[in-house]
């Protein structure tokens, strides 16, 4: 297998391109030693996301802790984000939420890559596929494999596709020639992403507070912190602001254009009232199904509160009695945020029958806003 060398790598590159994976690079399975103290510090400062809390940092940075047989890591990028009718795209969802679930699509493509390599090198070939589902630091590996450079928003930028691409890896038991990281400062003095972030999640260049990131907030379980709700705008799942304003991602957009169309409030009401059956029928095969109906309805309630449309209050009053306490609580916030005499009346009525202490606290807060 040693003699296959660069020939095998180019065969893999050509095959990957033929199945829709035009971004490809190779790195070793060596530890990401410089990253460990960075992640430790982030955890100590509580800048990591809730999804990272149970992951062992050493294991994340040392692939051979999980795969002792690993020799090389093949890193792939799958572009996304182009729409024929850009002006009518629903901008309450991040671009990646509007396509088929990338976990599924990418994994299927990488299975084909694995099978293709096995056909070339024989039965002793061993591999493992990772697509945002195993606690390795994918972005750092992709950077080391030369797929792109880091932007100040901490995303990886490819020279051809900008930041609009998904990552996936095939960990293999054969050594392949490693690629070099891209040595460039793509951002230079630009700080558009830092200025555009509504929550201040991009603390400074190359430093992100994941717990303030709208994309992370819209996916995280539980109650959304009060101080972040208004800053979420109309985002229901994910957020593209720091990418949309970036000059490397093509046409630049103003921050205002990232928000609602005239009928946003009515789309949000539809989402709030969607049944489980309707939800699965409409969003089956997308990452929205992974998040689940409860999280999406919670986010829709917050977004509705940010529309300023008081006339919507009667259409969501019944949600103050919804079976889901998460929906009741965030609907209460929305009603309080929209405000007015009617808001105060229906909130007091809901408070009288509410049994959940956390929801009651939310209603109390909502009443204080009316």
pLDDT (tens digit, 9 = 90+) per residue, 7-51? 999 999 999 999 999 999 999 999 999 999 999 999 999 999 988
Lowest mean pLDDT among 54-63, 142-151, 260-269, 324-333: 260-269
| Residue 56, domain member (yes or no) | yes
Report if residue 202 sits inside a domain: no
99 three-class SS: coil
Structural contact between residues 274 and 297, judged by C-beta atoms closer than 8 angstroms: yes
Share of the chain above pLDDT 90, in %: 86
Q: Tell me the CATH number at 280.
A: 1.25.10.10
* Contact call for residues 183 and 13 (beta carbons, < 8 A): no
Least confident stretch, 79-83, 234-238, 290-294, 357-361: 79-83
- Per-residue confidence (pLDDT) for residue 133, from 0 to 100: 79
Instruction: Name every residue whose Cβ is closer than 8 Å to that of residue 128 and which is 6 or more positions away in sequence.
Output: 67, 70, 170, 171
176-202 residue pLDDT tens: 999 999 988 899 999 999 999 999 999
**Cα-to-chain-centroid distance, residue 132:** 10
Model confidence at 88, pLDDT cuts 50, 70, 90, reads low
Under a CB-based contact definition with an 8 Å cutoff, are residues 252 and 81 in contact?
no
Q: Are 25 and 146 in contact (CB under 8 A)?
A: yes
Q: What is the pLDDT of residue 187?
A: 96
pLDDT tens digits, residue range 103-140?
999 999 999 999 999 999 998 999 999 999 778 999 99
Taking residue 227's Cβ as centre, other Cβ atoms within 10 Å add up to 9
Tell me if 238 is assigned to some domain.
no
Longest dimension (CA), the chain: 78
User: Residues 14, 30, 87, 132: which is the catalytic one?
Assistant: 132
User: Are 155 and 286 in the same domain?
Assistant: no
Q: Which domain holds residue 44?
A: 2-83+93-172
Q: Using an 8 Å Cβ cutoff, are 298 and 327 in contact?
A: yes
Mean pLDDT rounded to a whole number for the chain: 93
Cα 336 to its chain centre, rounded Å, is 29
pLDDT at res. 90: 67
Is 132 in the active site? Answer: yes
Number of domains in the chain: 2
**Cα–Cα distance for residue pair 223/368, rounded to 1 Å:** 18
> Is 298's pLDDT higher than 90?
yes
Domain boundary among 139, 172, 205: 172
């Amino acid at each position: 297998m040693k003699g296959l060398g660069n020939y095998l790598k180019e065969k893999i590159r050509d095959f990957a391109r033929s199945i829709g994976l035009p971004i490809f690079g190779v790195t070793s399975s060596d530890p990401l030693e410089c990253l460990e103290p960075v992640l430790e510090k982030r955890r100590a400062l509580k800048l990591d996301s809730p999804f990272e809390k149970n992951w062992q940092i050493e294991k994340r940075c040392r692939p051979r802790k999980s795969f002792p047989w690993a020799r090389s890591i093949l890193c792939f990028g799958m572009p996304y984000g182009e729409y024929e009718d850009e002006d009518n795209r629903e901008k309450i969802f991040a671009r990646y939420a509007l396509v088929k679930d990338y976990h599924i699509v990418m994994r299927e493509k990488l299975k084909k890559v694995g099978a293709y390599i096995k056909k070339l090198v024989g039965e002793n070939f061993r591999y493992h596929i990772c697509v945002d589902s195993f606690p390795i630091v994918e972005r750092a590996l992709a950077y080391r494999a030369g797929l792109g450079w880091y932007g100040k928003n901490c995303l990886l930028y490819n020279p051809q596709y900008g930041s609009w691409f998904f990552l996936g890896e095939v960990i293999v038991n054969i050594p392949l020639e490693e690629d070099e990281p891209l040595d460039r400062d793509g951002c230079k003095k630009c700080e558009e992403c830092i200025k555009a972030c509504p929550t201040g999640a991009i603390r400074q260049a190359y430093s992100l507070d994941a717990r303030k990131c709208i994309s992370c907030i819209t996916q995280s379980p539980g109650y959304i912190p009060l101080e972040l709700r208004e800053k979420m705008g109309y985002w229901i799942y994910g957020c593209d602001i720091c990418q949309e304003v970036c000059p490397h991602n093509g046409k630049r957009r103003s921050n205002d254009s990232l928000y609602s169309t005239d009928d946003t409030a009515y789309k949000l009401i539809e989402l709030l009232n969607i049944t489980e059956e309707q939800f699965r029928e409409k969003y089956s095969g997308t990452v929205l199904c992974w998040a689940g109906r409860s999280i999406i309805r919670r986010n829709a309630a917050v977004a509705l509160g940010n529309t300023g449309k008081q006339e919507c209050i009667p259409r969501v009053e019944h949600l103050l009695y919804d079976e889901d306490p998460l929906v009741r609580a965030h609907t209460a916030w929305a009603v309080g945020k929209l405000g007015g005499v009617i808001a105060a009346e229906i909130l007091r009525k809901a408070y009288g029958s509410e049994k959940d202490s956390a929801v009651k606290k939310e209603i109390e807060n909502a009443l204080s806003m009316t």
